[in-house]
Amino acid sequence: MFQEILDRLPYKSSFRFVDEITALDTNGITGTYTLRKDSFFYEDHFPGNPVTPGVIITEIMAQIGLVSFGIYLLLQEKDLTNPNENKFPLFTSADVSFLKIVLPGEKLTVVSKKQYFRFNKLKCYIEITNEKAEMVARGFFSGILKNID
């Protein structure tokens, strides 16, 4: 099941921020991502002293905690192999607090807990920690399941 979810992610190459899903059930998901030291955003953020941009941390949280989890919930609900079933989870909003700087090469763990999933809307509380189990960021993320043509 984990690999099937990873295979369904719409992100490719330099903008896919999911390495592994480590836990998954109808209440939440846990996954990891290790930041590559040669990632495109470190070159200019900041030259000589690279720091992971908050928008990238937010994206990691959304890709694992909302989109990957939403794919799982859809797989539980419907047959996504049906060509007429084109629903996909789309990230729509986040209220995030950043607590620590993240450096190139760090492995991050995302834990997402479902707040609700109804009427094609998904809301999750998501935390992201570093390898020292220090909280990097946390917040509420929302998404909607939309038909994609």
Which residues are catalytic, by number? Answer: 45
Within 10 angstroms of residue 104's Cβ, the number of other Cβ atoms is 15
d(CA 75, CA 77): 5
d(CA 22, CA 135): 18
Q: Kindly give, in sequence order, each residue whose CB lies less than 8 Å from that of residue 111, ignoring residues fewer than 6 positions away.
A: 28, 29, 30, 65, 126, 127, 128, 129
Residue type, 20: E
